[in-house]
């Protein structure tokens, strides 16, 4: 089975621009979560999508948004980029089935965003 894929792998933008990142989950997985990884803050949860709906959200400003399509692919958008948005953006997929216990999340390789 193919793993989680993310495009593009690298991106350079300037302050004020917007950016869209894409994530294709493992086949059969319906939940996609996004994380931001920086040297200062480590790995932080952005949001999770399931069945085209945002199900959970971390503590990031509204400039960070996302969506999920009917095939479970997800996109993340950051508007009005700031220097501090430079980071590795990771997506993770899981089955997303309901139940008492959590499921293993599988990560993609990430998109490295540099804001100049």
By CB under 8 A, name the binding residues for another protein. Answer: 4, 31, 33, 35, 38-45, 47-48, 50, 55-56, 58, 90, 92, 94, 96-110
Measured in residues, the chain has a length of 116
Q: From residue 103, how far is each of 57, 64, 97, 106 by CA, in Å?
A: 17, 25, 8, 10
Give whichever of 16 and 52 is closer to another protein, judged by the CB atom: 52
CB of 79 to another protein, least distance (A): 21
CB of 22 to another protein, least distance (A): 15
CB of 72 to another protein, least distance (A): 13
Closest of 94, 112, 99 to residue 50, by C-alpha: 94
Give whichever of 44 and 79 is closer to another protein, judged by the CB atom: 44
């Amino acid at each position: 089975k193919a793993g989680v894929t993310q495009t593009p792998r690298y991106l350079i933008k300037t302050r004020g621009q917007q950016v869209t990142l894409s994530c294709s989950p493992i086949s059969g997985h319906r939940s996609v979560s996004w994380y931001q990884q920086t040297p200062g803050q480590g790995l932080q949860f952005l949001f999770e999508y399931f069945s085209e709906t945002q199900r959970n959200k971390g503590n990031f400003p509204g400039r960070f948004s996302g969506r999920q399509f009917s095939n479970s692919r997800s996109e993340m958008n950051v508007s009005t980029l700031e220097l501090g948005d430079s980071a590795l953006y990771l997506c993770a997929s899981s089955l997303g089935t309901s139940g008492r216990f959590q499921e293993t999340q599988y990560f993609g390789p990430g998109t490295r965003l540099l804001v100049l």
